[in-house]
Amino acid sequence: MDKKYISKLIARDQQGLSLISACCSESEVMTSNMKYLKQNKIFLVSIKRFKKETEKKNDIVNSILRFDYIDFVKAKNINQKNNEKVYKLLTIDCLKRDNKFEIILAFSEKNTYISLSTEVIEINLEDQKV
């Protein structure tokens, strides 16, 4: 019997964020699958990615990226009116200024990114059942 496991990664520091970034590189994101829940301070992204952490690296899986404790979100060159637009996520990076972190989701199109401001790093990457 071929067992399938659902992956869940949690990052609470920059090293964990680097691992999640590696798993998510080259994933596809639709504009309609990015949501900022301001009241809850949560930024959600549904991605379609290659399952790089397994032996079969060509398996495609739907995953949810959840960023907690997000104070505000800034997007550049993301067309929020075109819900069907697909962006390719290149990397997720983190900068620290004073006592705040800036988490940056960089996309393949020139100068296209989303910046998340937070005081702590709390990120979950969870695969969804097919």
Q: Residue 26 in 3-state DSSP?
A: coil
Give the pLDDT confidence score for residue 92 in this predicted structure. Answer: 96
Please say if the pLDDT value at position 125 is more than 60: yes
Please, are residues 65 and 21 in contact by the beta-carbon 8 Å criterion?
A: no
Please, are residues 68 and 123 in contact by the beta-carbon 8 Å criterion?
A: yes
Give the pLDDT confidence score for residue 90 in this predicted structure. Answer: 96
In degrees and rounded to multiples of 5, residue 39 shows phi and psi of -60, -40
The residue type of 109 is: E
Interatomic CA distance for residues 80 and 7, integer angstroms: 29
Structure tokens at 48: 């379609």
Of residues 116 and 5, more confidence is placed in 116
Give the pLDDT confidence score for residue 51 in this predicted structure. Answer: 83
CA 67, chain centre distance (Å) = 8
Q: pLDDT of 19-61, one tens digit each?
A: 999 999 999 999 999 999 999 999 999 999 988 776 666 788 9
Please, are residues 125 and 65 in contact by the beta-carbon 8 Å criterion?
A: yes
For 118, other C-beta atoms within 10 Å of its C-beta total 20
Give the pLDDT confidence score for residue 5 in this predicted structure. Answer: 58
Provide CB contacts within 8 A for 40, sequence distance 6+. none
